[in-house]
Amino acid sequence: MKSPLNNENYPDESGFFNDVGAHTARTIMFQELAMLFNATTKNSHIEEIRNKVYNENILHKKSISGRKKSFGYLKKTYGLDPNIPLYNILRWAWSISEEQERPLLALLCALSRDASLRITVPYIFSLTPGKIGCETPLKVPFDLEYWTKTAKELYADGIPEPHSDDPTQWLFKGNIVGSEQPLHVAIARMLGYRWPEQPAGEDPLDALIDKDGIVCIPPVRGERPAGDWLRSILATAYGVEWSPRKEEELLKQVGYTKSSGLEGFLRDEFFASHCKLFHQRPFIWGVWDGTKDGFSALINYHKLDHNTLQKLIYTYLGNWITQQKDEVKQEKPGAERRLAAAEALKENLAKILEGEKPFDIYVRWKPLNEQAIGWEPDLNDGVRMNIRPFIEAGVLRWTPNIKWGKDRGTDPVPNCSGTTERLNDLHFSLEEKRKARENAGKV
């Protein structure tokens, strides 16, 4: 491929990159590259590396967005794929080099994959060590004819509207078919979740969507079990393409190969998979009583207000408890165990509803008189703040990797803790909150 920046030719198949690259980050990210190489092997696949950066935080970034940006820059600058010859050469040379030689190896690879970095070399080399370069923009060669021709070839009908089939992105429109994660999207749609860019027009799926945002995995209150409900959603979305084989294909896509099908995935693995997909900020919550044959439900967090939690406890779970009491009388196997587990779950959910510490919501940036009394979540405060009572109570099917320690930096003015320290794992009693509201004239 000929570089549009400097008319040089470099073989794409070897891993050279002849366009503007990651140099917009103004760094070749040597320290991050060294940490990545220490935590992976030369045979590590790019998806394995991505997982280590995102979920294991091997680059020690403070936020998910920081991990994503760093991975993106490293991928564009170095390839990070064993199938790229240049990357393989870099890993081999790195393994036999001395530590002081490695910055030069990284630079050589970066130069091979970033035309914008290459064209700055003559200017940078002309400076004496320690001298600050010119702060005005450098003159960059621009082949207007080349780019005009390329634009006409690629976008004959004009630049397309921004689009994404990735459900973790804001541009995603809620489509099941064509999505990168159709099963996850179907489950969210079943529970009434809507993506910000999801069209508001008529959709055949709307008639199948649960209204209150609660779907029980076993049948409760005469409703269909979640597995059957989900199949109806998928069958409507896929039409004639839907079949048992398609169901198996979707399950394999999310890594579920056990024989228990959709029911097993929903009960045992969906919530953990959902948390990982959405970077530990789940909006579909999986609640259960700790037994595989007991009560479990999926809940749309965006609909989980005080009244919905009451409905979960006293209507859905209450109905399940009544059913187990009847089965105890009938001396059905396991009924006493299921009843005990359900009553324990009811007790824990009731504690969340009441909101006494440690089952309270705490939002650092709100004054004490504005802290929630009981389960009154503010969606604008985010999943991290609102999910804490459920994790404290141990009622989630899987524990998301969420921390409430001290965030870096300080607040400009004292927060609810009375200090400028960004402490998030504090608890206040209902009495303290009510007294604060009385003092503020809000009761």
Decide if 170 is inside a domain: no
Do 189 and 286 lie in a common domain?
yes
C-alpha 218 chain-centroid distance = 27
Q: Is 356 exposed, middle or buried (0-12, 13-18, 19+ CB in 10 A)?
A: middle
Alpha-carbon dihedral sign for residues 397, 398, 402, 405? positive
Structure token pair of residue 76:
């564009």
Radius of gyration, alpha carbons of the chain: 27
- Residues 6 or more apart whose Cβ sits within 8 Å of residue 343: 321
Strand pairing category for 421-423 and 214-216: unpaired
pLDDT of the residue at 267: 95
Q: Are 397 and 287 in contact (CB under 8 A)?
A: yes
Q: Is 287 exposed, middle or buried (0-12, 13-18, 19+ CB in 10 A)?
A: buried
Decide if 164 is inside a domain: no
pLDDT of the residue at 127: 78
Of 306, 322, 354, the residue at which a domain comes to its end is 354
Decide if 7 is inside a domain: no
Distance CA 323, CA 316 (A): 11
pLDDT per residue as tens, the chain (443 positions): 444 444 455 556 555 655 545 455 567 899 999 999 999 999 999 999 999 999 899 999 888 888 998 998 899 889 998 889 999 999 999 999 999 999 999 999 988 888 778 877 777 777 777 776 666 556 667 789 988 898 888 888 888 888 899 999 999 999 999 999 999 999 999 999 999 999 988 889 999 999 999 999 999 988 889 999 999 999 999 999 999 999 999 999 999 999 899 999 999 999 999 999 999 999 999 999 999 999 999 999 999 999 999 999 999 999 999 999 999 999 999 999 999 999 999 999 999 999 999 999 999 999 999 999 999 999 999 999 999 999 999 999 999 999 998 999 999 999 999 999 999 999 999 999 999 999 988 55
Do 19 and 95 lie in a common domain?
yes
Decide if 203 is inside a domain: yes
- At 85, the amino acid letter reads P
C-alpha 415 chain-centroid distance = 28
Decide if 359 is inside a domain: no
Do 186 and 119 lie in a common domain?
no
Decide if 4 is inside a domain: no
Do 294 and 408 lie in a common domain?
no
Decide if 40 is inside a domain: yes
Of 304, 322, 354, the residue at which a domain comes to its end is 354
Do 148 and 70 lie in a common domain?
yes
Residue 296's H or E segment, with its range, is strand 296-300
Do 207 and 267 lie in a common domain?
yes
Strand pairing category for 284-288 and 406-410: unpaired
pTM to 2 decimal places: 0.70
What's the total number of domains in the chain?
3
Q: Are 299 and 191 in contact (CB under 8 A)?
A: yes
How many angstroms separate the first and last alpha carbons of the chain? 71
Distance CA 117, CA 123 (A): 11
pLDDT of the residue at 5: 43
Do 276 and 349 lie in a common domain?
yes
Do 240 and 301 lie in a common domain?
yes
pLDDT of the residue at 22: 47
Of 325, 354, 383, the residue at which a domain comes to its end is 354
Do 345 and 399 lie in a common domain?
no
Do 273 and 126 lie in a common domain?
no
Distance CA 167, CA 148 (A): 33
Do 150 and 294 lie in a common domain?
no
Q: Are 230 and 190 in contact (CB under 8 A)?
A: yes
Decide if 159 is inside a domain: no
Do 346 and 382 lie in a common domain?
no
Range of the domain at 257: 182-354
